[in-house]
Structure 1
């Protein structure tokens, strides 16, 4: 496993060691001991989620204001542009974002710690995303920031297309009025 830093030190790209041959490939998608040794993160994952999206579907920017979730995100079909936004008010990277491409081909994963909003755009015809979370889904604490908020300024690779959004994502809050993490 190789760990790549991002512009926000707490958000990490995880590259597993992939063993390929004429039959296909094999890799360990998660090993708690190796993950903790390489990242310093000792999170306990309590829930696995799986989503399927068509091209240009944009999901996010989601977070839970209580019971915040750390997420380990990977793609098993297609490709996404995955984004983490630091919404920890006392953080030196507050309001900053990082994005990276995760795909079935590159086998990369993105570690997004608690205290971040998360979103992704399906850039391939179809994308299936698996992610582990450190807290259970709690709908009463679920929050959403507008995907195109100008104060965050995410450079989504839409190539002139309009994103396809859920009603929840269309009704997201402006960053200036969104609840953020105070500690």
Structure 2
């Protein structure tokens, strides 16, 4: 098992990067939260998880141990594979995720692309005793923050439409997280997201 890689980012893409480690280039799949902190030519240490399949061996990397540990918890849940777990980390911060699980807020979790009602309930049931509250978290402040989220159906509709257009769940989660504001319709979010994709 490869625990971490320390090297130089040579190429940066939406869902992965190439990391040069002493002349060997590793392709590492990364969440949007990690991607935002990377730049081509920069030296970095990524905590990694090696996923072995019959047809491939895939590396997933994270800039913080918080992201890495949450990823490890997520992939133990039935119905949540590495790609879905990566999408979760692209759509919501570890602190927000822990708060949602602690508060049993399935409605918030189902706003994440790839997470349906049954999976959200399973996440809460199986992780509520494994994940602690984020440091400095206030239940009152947390609920206020969750209440400010956009309506569930609008975000889900926008995410599903964008995925149907060929964008990945992690790309969609990252863009929607940046552009969303209270009260937006699905159509408004789709238009803004397409403009954001066009700038890349």
Q: Relative contact order (alpha carbons < 8 A, sep ≥ 6): 1 or 2 greater?
A: 1
| Interval of TM-score (by shorter of Structure 1 and Structure 2) | under 0.3
TM-score, length basis structure 1: 0.28
Indicate the structure (1 or 2) with the bigger Cα radius of gyration.
2
**Higher strand proportion, which one?**
1
Higher helix proportion, which one?
Answer: 2
